[in-house]
């Protein structure tokens, strides 16, 4: 306020300058981070241009496409992971798309599929071991081990892997808005739920039986995800949903009744 800017009938310069100082400090810190990011991106881009990595990776991708589409996707995935170990998601997406998009599009893959794959891959790069900044910050705040936090974060982000595979198996997820998109989304969601429950849920007190059920659930969920036939994928989704329903009923039975909780 104006009253705070005056002391003994004279203007108080410190009160007036303090907000400007905070503004300059905030602008400098923000600009410094952005400058470092752009400088890193320029260095990486220059290194790629000088060494010819994009051309070499493109040749490898085209050769891999002659073997199998899966091999081509795996090569692109490894390239994105390599970038993700040292760059934030945005530069990782830009560089990954620039390198892998041309050869993939030449082999007949839709550009939307390639770019969504690059986007999901860039998001996954934020968790790429062993330089995950997200896991490091989270572990520091929670005062927890870094590796344990990183592994837990990877398990929680299993949906990224199903999405990366899903855009290739069911491209209608990103190409055909409407009922076709909803059907593909339902199948990928079912596969994601099945894989998540196979990793984190407990279906039996017996260790051997529990492990067997979880492996079976993971196998059926992979059928839902990778089966080219929508009918087979939908039929395979029935036991997945059945296992999830069984787990929910089991948890409901194990929960103490309100009367027992009141007695305690």
Does residue 134 fall inside a structural domain? Answer: no
Is the distance from CB of 96 to CB of 119 less than 8 angstroms? no
Q: Binning pLDDT at 50, 70 and 90, where does residue 221 land?
A: very high
Which residue range is the domain that position 115 belongs to? Answer: 26-125
Whether residue 165 is found in the same domain as residue 117 = no
Q: Taking the model in full, what pTM does it have?
A: 0.71
Whether residue 105 is found in the same domain as residue 161 = no
Q: Binning pLDDT at 50, 70 and 90, where does residue 186 land?
A: very high
pLDDT at residue 15, as a whole number? 64
Does residue 204 fall inside a structural domain? Answer: yes
What percent of the chain stands above pLDDT 90? Answer: 22
Does residue 191 fall inside a structural domain? Answer: yes
User: Which of 60-64, 81-85, 120-124, 221-225 is predicted least confidently?
Assistant: 60-64
Whether residue 163 is found in the same domain as residue 251 = yes
Tens of pLDDT, residue by residue over 188-218, are 999 999 999 998 888 888 889 999 999 999 9
Residue ending a domain, among 71, 106, 125, is: 125
Does residue 14 fall inside a structural domain? Answer: no
Whether residue 50 is found in the same domain as residue 119 = yes
pLDDT at residue 64, as a whole number? 66
pLDDT at residue 211, as a whole number? 92
pLDDT at residue 100, as a whole number? 82
Residue 128 has pLDDT above 80, yes or no: no
Residue 35 has pLDDT above 90, yes or no: no
Instruction: Check residues 111 and 32 and name the one with the higher pLDDT.
Output: 111
Residue ending a domain, among 125, 149, 168, is: 125
pLDDT at residue 1, as a whole number? 46
Does residue 17 fall inside a structural domain? Answer: no
Q: How many domains, in total, are found in the chain?
A: 2
Whether residue 115 is found in the same domain as residue 176 = no
């Amino acid at each position: 306020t104006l009253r705070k800017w005056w002391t003994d009938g004279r203007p108080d310069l410190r009160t007036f300058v303090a907000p400007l100082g905070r503004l300059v400090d905030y602008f400098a810190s923000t600009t410094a981070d952005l400058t470092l990011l752009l400088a890193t991106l320029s260095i990486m881009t220059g290194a790629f241009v000088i060494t010819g990595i994009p051309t070499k990776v493109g040749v490898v991708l085209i050769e891999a496409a002659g073997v199998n589409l899966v091999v081509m996707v795996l090569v692109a995935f490894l390239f994105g992971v390599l970038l993700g170990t040292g760059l934030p998601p945005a530069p990782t997406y830009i560089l990954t798309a620039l390198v892998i998009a041309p050869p993939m599009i030449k082999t007949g893959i839709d550009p939307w599929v390639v770019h969504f794959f690059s986007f999901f891959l860039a998001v996954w790069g934020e968790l790429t071991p062993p330089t995950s900044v997200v896991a490091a910050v989270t572990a520091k705040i929670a005062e927890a081990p870094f590796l344990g936090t990183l592994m837990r974060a990877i398990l929680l982000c299993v949906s990224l892997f199903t999405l990366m595979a899903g855009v290739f198996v069911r491209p209608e997820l990103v190409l055909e808005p409407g009922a076709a998109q909803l059907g593909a989304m339902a199948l990928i969601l079912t596969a994601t739920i099945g894989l998540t429950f196979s990793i984190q849920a407990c279906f039996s007190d017996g260790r051997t039986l529990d492990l067997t059920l979880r492996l079976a659930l993971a196998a059926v969920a992979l059928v839902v995800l990778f089966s080219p036939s929508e009918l087979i994928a939908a039929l395979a989704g029935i036991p997945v949903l059945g296992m999830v329903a069984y787990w929910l009923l089991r948890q409901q039975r194990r929960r103490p009744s309100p009367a027992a909780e009141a007695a305690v």
